[in-house]
Structure 1
Amino acid sequence: MRLKKMFMVLLSLIITLSLVACGSPTQETTGTTTETTVTSGIYTGSAPGHNGPVSVDVTIDEDGTISDIQIVESSETLAIGSGAYEITKNHVLVKQNLDVEAISGATISRVAYINAIADALGQAGFDVDALKESTGEVDDSVIGDLETEVLVIGGGIAGFSAAIEANSLGANVILIEKLGVIGGTTARSEGIVQAAGTELQKEHGIDDSEEQFYIDFTGLQTDETLDDDLIRLGIENSVETIEWLKDKGVNFDEIESAHPLPPRDIMRGHYAENKGGGMMQTLYEYALDNGVEVYTNTKATEIIMKDGAAVGAKVVRSNGEELTISAQAVVIATGGYSSNKELMAKLHPEIVDYTSYNSNTGDGYLLAEQAGAEMINKSPALVHYANRLPGATGAVNVVGFYTPTVVLVTEDGLRYSSEEAYTFDRSGVVIAKGASQVFALLPNEFVSENQEGVDNGVEKGIIIKSESIEDLAKEYGIDADNLVATIENYNELCDKGKDDDFNKDSKFLKSFDGPEYYAMRLYPSVAETYNGPKITVNGEVISTDGNPIPGLYAAGGVTMAQFTDYQYYSSGTAILYSAVIGREAANHIVENVLNK
């Protein structure tokens, strides 16, 4: 059953972080829902999240309709952006229920939002248990076996780019998504696309070129698995990708650099209006309007092979229905596997005590491997080391991403990088030196500027406060002699006004003056993995015998190994390459498989 837009989650609504005025619920008019009297008004609900409490204001209209949901407090943006909130909010507003199964793939953060909304609705008089009951709206239907020309597996930017492009060239296309909503990792992102030489850059007076982008990009990344032809493909099609997305209705309203320091300091990050959710909603609507068939709650379990060629996939729907989708070509357009603990332990044993907040469980990796693909496996993954200042109201609420005034050490008590450096660059050094833990020591000025968050951190045990550096070291199991020497040396650098060790800008050198000292552990958060099948510049999946597997293509997060390594250029790189390779695959399929 093709999903209708009127029943879909509207991912393009903007997350609103401003506070909504909240008073006592009015008693003017009541509505009824599931035989329960509901009182209109604005109700504040709360629930525990992964990083702290989540609070929302829920507006109930006079007819009992849930008309608005706004965040009052949330610490759930460390790794997932605003996507969990957007997806949950829009489901509730459109469906008027709390059917968690329909929002499949729920993360800890998404469940926290659901529970906070449920708390507010309970105060308004709703029967919350009834609202949480499965509606069966999506899952009760039986669709039976299907046949198409092109099957796309995955509903993120790579999948919809491939589906829309193939459809525009005259192919019949089915796209399947295992979750109850489309968008993938892109929908939870800021919606950034890296590009060089665009009209938006020119409007801002930015002098940039594809060649400079290539120099900056390849100057960072040196892994032997990188494919120069694929790297050039993405960069040389970056402007065209922006224009292609604009043609489909995606607007770009901001442009920023990835980092203050070269080579990421040129403003190349094009921000989609309404972020990644808005981008994906626009592409989804365009796909439906132009005849792409989209099935959610539908997971591919096996690539069907016949005489060495991919001819479809076996799938299972969330209601348990198993079916076959026959196709002349299959595009695996899925994400990575950071939420698959078995694959993480197998492929990245060096990463321990990590967190991941997406639904990427390695489906595409396993499908390609099962189909006989040559797999690229390398370490490390894309990892941030960070932790949150709970309830912070100062300038900083996350320590580790970009907090250049703190001092970062590993368990040996030694600094390992300029704290001003890009987050992935610093993480790469940690993993390269074989360290497993990272700690941030907070200088006096940082503490005073972020006092509320620091105090909350101490109260919750996230931050340790001590009267000596030695005691901090003992509390965390850090080499005490080294840590004391590190801080003494760092204070000397502060007095000197020059970081002789790592060349951090002198404006970020802030001393440790006592009488109290603060430290916190930073935990690895896996932003994405990049291991997966080897592909050609056309997206063809390479088999273990070194030749393309007929009819099998791949794009998206599952193919990142050939255009990035742990020194990831910046957010927006994956979206660029996912869109480019997805479209390249579609063009190759239509011309060489379908012969159209």
Structure 2
Amino acid sequence: MAKKGMSRRDFMKGAAAGTLGVATMGVLGACSQDSTTAEEMSWDRETGVLIVGGGGTGVAAAAQAALDGAEVLVLEKAGLAGGTTNYSGGVMQAAGTKAQKDFTDYADDTPENHFQLWLKAGEGLVDEELVKDLAYGAPGHIEWLTEQGLNFTSVYGHTDIPYVDDALFADRIHVYEGGGGHGGGTPLVQALLNTATENGATIEYNTEATRLVVNKDGKVEGVVAVQDGAEVSIKATKGVILAAAGIDNNAEMAKELAPQQYWSITTGVPSCAETDTGDGIRMAMEIGAAV
């Protein structure tokens, strides 16, 4: 774990909260009306940590939870893991890493410089606390990914921004073996998937979570999913992680939440998984998550 900034667990919680925070009720559309509570549910199965979505976030969560010794089950709607992460460029930014020291002339770079760059580039429109957590947490994430088998082979440059002090810039874009181009996210997904499964996690494909099940106090206790054409209810004794918030292929949600992605969808050029339809956002909103 990184010593500074937030942990991977805290980051995932914050990212989910941030995503839901910008949602509007209009994206709910035709929502599930089943209100069966956990107390009324006759569970078909039980696991420890239940993760909805096996994309980049889901496999990372599965890897860490499995390393922590939890019983882990991942439900993935598609027939393979990775989601839109598979389409990514396979690079990530961080300051103060061993790779940066090895491959660049910026041996004295710091997360604080990285944070200040992002803050000033954001022109006052960013969440300062979140940006700081991202910058300070990034070196630890690079280290953790290295431990999971990724081999970082280069670190490259930046593009100057006229209104940002040149002293804040550095080469921070880390490239791992197999990354650096379209589709470069696949090695990352496979490394994390290997860590997860080698430590006991199970991932079930072609399984679509349809709703969250809460108890009378509003706490999520499990999920209802569709598998092989039949509904199955799964209880999670240690918690449910929603890792299915991508809206890259949902025109209705994108129109309200991400106009740029809406443009991509409607012009026919989105680079994303077909299964990225915002299921996590929808299910969370159905149980009254903050919007």
Please indicate, yes or no, whether the TM-score normalized by the shorter chain is above 0.5.
Answer: yes
Q: Match for residue 285 of structure 2?
A: 369
TM-score of the superposed pair, with normalisation by structure 2: 0.72
Structure 1 residue 176 corresponds to structure 2 residue 90: no
More helix by share: 2
Task: List structure 1 runs of 4+ shifted beyond 4 angstroms.
Answer: 260-265, 348-353
What's the % identity of the aligned pairs? Answer: 34
Q: Secondary structure at the match of 1:149?
A: strand
Instruction: Determine if contact 2:47/2:234 at 8 Å carries over to the other structure.
Output: yes
Give 3-state SS (helix, strand or coil) of 1:148's partner: strand
Residue 197 (structure 2) aligns with: 288
Which structure: larger Rg? 1
Shift of 1:155: 1.4
Mapped to 1, the partners of 2:123 and 2:232 lie a distance apart of 43
Does the CA contact (< 8 Å) of 1:311 and 1:326 recur in 2? yes
- Structure 2 CA distance for aligned equivalents of residues 193 and 345 of structure 1: 28
Aligned partner (choices 348, 355, 358) of residue 272 of structure 2: 358
Q: Could you tell me how far 1:345 is from its partner in structure 2?
A: 3.1
Choose the corresponding residue for 1:273, options 163, 174, 177: 177
Q: Which runs of 5+ in 1 are unaligned?
A: 1-143, 376-596
Distance 2:140 2:222 in 1: 31
**Which residue identity lines up with residue 89 of structure 2 in the other structure?**
E
Q: CA deviation at 1:298?
A: 1.1
Task: Determine which of 231, 235, 247 is the counterpart of 1:326.
Answer: 235
One-letter amino acid matched to 1:342: E
The match for 1:193 is 92
Whether contact under 8 Å (2:63, 2:193) holds in the other structure is no
Give 1:205 deviation, angstroms.
Answer: 2.0
Decide which of 214, 217, 221 is 2:118's aligned counterpart: 217
Q: What is the alpha-carbon distance in structure 2 between the residues aligned to residue 278 and residue 219 of structure 1?
A: 32
3-state SS of paired residue (1:165): helix
Q: Distance in 2 between matches of 1:323 and 1:223?
A: 46
Alignment of 1:340-351 (within 5 A): 340-347=250-257
In structure 1, C-alpha distance between the alignment counterparts of 2:255 and 2:58, rounded to whole Å: 27
Distance change in 2, residues 1:348/1:251 (3 Å) = closer
Structure 2: gaps (5+ residues)? 1-42, 180-184
Alignment pair present for 1:316 and 2:232:
no
Looking at structure 1, the residues matched to 77 and 90 of structure 2 have their Cα atoms a distance apart, in angstroms, of 21
CA contact (8 A) 1:196 1:213 kept: yes
- Structure 2 distance, partners of 1:154, 1:258, is 33
The DSSP-based 3-state class of the residue aligned with 1:313 is strand
* TM-score normalised by structure 1 residue count: 0.37
Shift of 1:273: 1.3
What value does the CA root-mean-square deviation take over the aligned residues?
Answer: 2.2
Q: State the AA in 2 paired with 1:219.
A: K
Judged with a 3 Å threshold, the aligned counterparts in structure 2 of structure 1 residues 147 and 222 are, in CA distance, closer, same or farther, namely farther
Residue 234 of structure 1: aligned partner: 134
Q: 1:348 to 1:211 in 2, by over 3 A?
A: closer
| Alpha-carbon separation, structure 2, partners of 1:249 and 1:297 | 27
Aligned-pair distance for 1:231? 2.2
Structure-2 change in CA distance of 1:349 and 1:239 (3 Å)? closer
238 and 344 in structure 1: CA distance in 2 versus 1, 3 angstrom threshold: closer
Q: Deviations over 1:309-368 (max 9, x none)?
A: 000111113x31221111031111124213111222344568554432312211121122
Counterparts in 2 of 1:153 and 1:297: CA distance versus 1, 3 Å:
same
Is the Cα contact below 8 Å between 2:117 and 2:169 reproduced in 1?
A: no
The one-letter code of the counterpart of 2:173 is G
Equivalents in 2 of 1:245, 1:170: separation in Å? 18
Contact 2:87 2:271 (C-alpha < 8 Å) held by counterparts: no
Which residue is equivalent to 2:49? 150
CA distance in 1, matches of 2:259, 2:86: 29
Residues 201 and 293 (structure 1 numbering): CA distance in 2 closer, same or farther, change over 3 Å? same
Q: Is the 8 A contact 1:153 1:330 kept in 2?
A: yes
Q: Is the 8 A contact 2:244 2:279 kept in 1?
A: yes
SS in 1 for 2:88: coil
Residue matched to 1:460? none
Which residue in 2 is equivalent to 1:205?
105
**SS at 2:203 equivalent:** strand
| Residues 185 and 335 in structure 1, CA contact (< 8 A), matched pair in contact too | no
Give 1:192 deviation, angstroms: 1.1
Q: Structure 2 CA distance, aligned partners of 1:186 and 1:348? A: 18
1:256 aligns with 2:156: yes
The number of residues matched between the two structures is 230
Distance 1:180 1:269 in 2: 31
1:265 CA displacement: 5.0
